[in-house]
A and B are shown apart, each in its own frame.
Chain A
């Protein structure tokens, strides 16, 4: 290609346009955020620069005649089982740039996916299954510290029982799903409106992420968890009290041990106001919280937040799934957290060094099993709820997570997909062609909050229906009956050690 470096010419995608069906409407030109398509007026035809294509498929989706298709570039380097095309391209790119490779979304590398090795049980003959269309089925979930025991008293005159034990604050979810923390700034306001509205409609929760809560969204407070991260963006007394819960973000599955960086050019007036930082300044989240170097420090922050909110909000601590996750989780529980959120290594990000995203952290399935077992062993499982995220792709994955011991599921990537994301993994460019991870007003309009909220609601409804079907098939009528019930899981194709860690028996046993 003329004026392109050799390496740029090893493009990943090929844009194919059928001239016989192209009507020269130029929708592709207008919709491509990467200037791939060009209209040549003198020739009345369209042309494309394949080297710029990121494979987002916006053009092919909006082409009214289906004239465009995007293909992987079949042009190949010599086959090499060790040096994949991706490895080769990355070396080229770094030889060109000398810099860290950026990446986005969750770890796409070929690591085992434990969900695909776990199977669920169903009732046959000896115990009846339940038809969820005829019988009540409960997915309602309460997140928060549960007491060790409860005391019930009876009214002397009416004889009616009531709970004497004072419960600590709980989050009530009608579905065991939370729209997970994706900050305002990383995602635009339209996406936040959609998540907040969907959470309200569903009776569940939307997590603000670390970018604060836009003033327009305060009215969704009953369906909001506000996050406090190392950058402390947008944190004020009003903010802490705006939602029904607070989350301290320690780590993120996509990039454990790494902070965050929202470039100044993305910090527009609204984001500046919401994050409480100067217009156009970089928003840097340090890798650690500089006031947390121990479990005791974490406890201080947890109780500082509880004090600030008069002990009315449960506090969650979000940690990335890493090697000593069980011990860390135990410490977090003992530090006073009401909820532990575990983010697996397939959890997404708006931007992370590719080498971190692809090589750091452990699968959420193993982390969850380890944490649940450890907390049970220590007799403190009731003191915290466990929320997991990072790689839940379906209601099947979600229900397996519940059986492994999760209380609720963080929906991150699936939330983005429902809003239109095609997983092109270029969030870090700020030019999301689907209008999600961009604050460019021209692109951000592509998420219509009303439409996106509807899709989120539909997705959670659909997953809810499926979960009820699965529960009914197992003869259960409440999700609570499945929680941590690993007896309902069997493993296929896993090693003895994997099964030991997951606490499941092999299929057939």
Chain B
């Protein structure tokens, strides 16, 4: 059995482990257009900010590829898939045959056609190790950077530059930062913290022109007419599934590669996972790309299992993010900012001064989302309650408690969540669990 995996990040790793759990014999080939072994992609801001060195970028133990007997092709870009002849085409003309193919190419940063962008040197995106490395190399010459986009990537890039004592301006089209993953109060707290640390945040505005002579940047002009002087621009508007190379294939692609709940695409024996895939949402079951790290791992795991002949079912993508900005922890999960709040029940607690916020979103007595800022301890209990679809009718009040725990739920629920073997005190089981 020849397994071919295009992409070498977390979805690929999840798939490799899943395949090897079921199939020790098959050949696994991993093809990556990057030059690195799998690395912690979200760590690039830590690398830029000097919080970690290059050695710690590595996502896997050194022997991972050899232990799993992976044929690893780095610096190799796949430019097409022929599902009839079951081959992938590489730049340079080589082809590689597959019996099972996983497409896990991730996302490409989206760079809009802003006036003046084309001929400038110091325009960067911020999604890869190389992006961070390039920025780091020129960082000594940066005086003022503008970050276009106030989402997670933009803010982390801004924080990284700030840690290098660069002055940074973030420009966000929406009325607040982090508008997709977080709600208004959480965005406010983060913006407040950014500003307190010297990052300028401009909202409800956007860059219409990048100014400068030749390749040099002198500043950006905003829609409002304001001019922000700068020498570097980072475009962090978002990512799109990196599925462009499949145009010629007959694999169904909408925004991403459409997959079912085993991560199978429309083409036989071809699977997709991670940011490139368009899989079902946990709540709506509608399909949409969800660029979420843990979700990519899970999708990879499910795809790998299916490829090796096993059976696992995807429960649907649950968005969740944990990001720290200047030591303020923020975690969001699920539906945090419902479009129609009347269908939901929302409880919240906020103490903006102390960077504390907690919000709980329920629907039909089920927990569907949560935002935690500041005290995020044990946030995972909420993700468990969402995934397990526990009826929270009787426990809603306790969800906002700073020390919310399993003890606030009922005994029955605790037993279903982690029913211990040690129920020897339970009345249905003899007190003497062991003999003498």
Contact = CB atoms under 8 A, between A and B. Distances in A.
Interface in A189-221: 190, 193-194, 196-198, 200-201, 216
Interface stretch (A36-44, A83-91, A285-293, A445-453): A445-453
Contacts of B427: 216
B342 to A, nearest CB: 42
Given A448-B425, A450-B424, A193 B436 contact: no
Contacts of A458: 436
B26 to A, nearest CB: 48
Given A193-B431, A194-B431, A197-B430, A449 B436 contact: no
Interface string B43-77: 00000000000000000000000000000000000
A246 interface: no
Contact of A201 (B424, B425, B436): B436
Interface in A401-435: none
A450 B433 contact: yes
B118 interface: no
Nearest to A190: B425
A454 B436 CA distance: 8
Interface in B99-132: none
A interface bracket (residues with beta carbon within 8 Å of B): 10 to 19
A457 interface: yes
A193 B427 CA distance: 9
B246 to A, nearest CB: 61
Interface residues of B, number: 8
B432 interface: yes
A200 B432 CA distance: 10
B226 to A, nearest CB: 52
B224 to A, nearest CB: 53
Contacts of B431: 193-194, 196-197, 449-450, 453
B130 to A, nearest CB: 51
B56 to A, nearest CB: 35
Interface string A443-482: 0000011100110011001000000000000000000000
Contact of B425 (A198, A450, A457, A461): A450
A53 B432 CA distance: 34
Contacts of B432: 197-198, 200-201, 450, 453-454, 457
Nearest to B436: A457
Contacts of A457: 432, 436
Interface string B416-428: 0000000011010
A458 B436 CA distance: 9
Contacts of B424: 449-450
A403 B370 CA distance: 74
A367 B433 CA distance: 40
Contacts of A190: 425
Interface in B377-436: 424-425, 427, 430-433, 436
Contacts of A453: 431-432
A338 to B, nearest CB: 29
B414 to A, nearest CB: 16
Contacts of A216: 427
Nearest to A198: B432
A454 B433 CA distance: 10
Contacts of A194: 431
A258 to B, nearest CB: 33
B234 to A, nearest CB: 48
Nearest to B422: A450
Interface centre among B430, B431, B432 (most CB of A within 10 A): B431
Contacts of B433: 450
A480 to B, nearest CB: 26
Interface centre among B424, B425, B430, B436 (most CB of A within 10 A): B430
Nearest to A219: B430
Contacts of A450: 424-425, 431-433
Contacts of A193: 431
A200 B436 CA distance: 13
A457 B432 CA distance: 10
Nearest to A445: B425
A172 to B, nearest CB: 20
B265 to A, nearest CB: 54
A198 B425 CA distance: 14
Contacts of A449: 424-425, 431
Contacts of B430: 197, 200
Contacts of A200: 430, 432
A13 B49 CA distance: 62
Contacts of A198: 432
A176 B431 CA distance: 23
Nearest to A196: B431
Nearest to A448: B425
A175 to B, nearest CB: 14
A197 B427 CA distance: 12
A449 B432 CA distance: 8
A24 to B, nearest CB: 20
A453 B424 CA distance: 12
Contacts of A454: 432, 436
A190 B425 CA distance: 9
A324 B430 CA distance: 44
B429 to A, nearest CB: 10
Interface string A261-285: 0000000000000000000000000
A457 B425 CA distance: 17
Nearest to B424: A450
Contacts of A448: 425
Nearest to B425: A449
A222 to B, nearest CB: 13
B60 to A, nearest CB: 40
Nearest to B430: A197
A453 B425 CA distance: 11
B77 to A, nearest CB: 59
A284 B430 CA distance: 32
B212 to A, nearest CB: 61
A269 to B, nearest CB: 14
A194 B424 CA distance: 12
A216 B432 CA distance: 14
A159 B93 CA distance: 101
A448 B433 CA distance: 12
A458 B435 CA distance: 11
A196 B432 CA distance: 10
A198 to B, nearest CB: 8
Interface centre among A190, A216, A450, A458 (most CB of B within 10 A): A450
A453 B433 CA distance: 10
Interface centre among B425, B427, B432, B433 (most CB of A within 10 A): B432
A93 B399 CA distance: 50
A216 B427 CA distance: 7
B425 to A, nearest CB: 6
A449 B425 CA distance: 7
Nearest to A189: B427
B170 to A, nearest CB: 42
A457 B433 CA distance: 13
Nearest to A461: B436
A177 B430 CA distance: 22
B285 to A, nearest CB: 44
Contacts of A196: 431
A197 B430 CA distance: 7
A449 B424 CA distance: 9
B116 to A, nearest CB: 62
Nearest to B427: A216
A439 B349 CA distance: 38
Interface in A366-394: none
Interface of B: 424-425, 427, 430-433, 436
5 contacts: A193-B431, A197-B431, A200-B430, A216-B427, A461-B436
Given A190-B425, A450-B424, 5 more contacts: A193-B431, A450-B425, A453-B431, A453-B432, A457-B436
Please give me the 8 A-B residue pairs with the lowest Cβ-Cβ distance, nearest first: A197-B431, A449-B431, A216-B427, A193-B431, A197-B432, A450-B424, A453-B431, A450-B431
Interface of A: 190, 193-194, 196-198, 200-201, 216, 448-450, 453-454, 457-458, 461
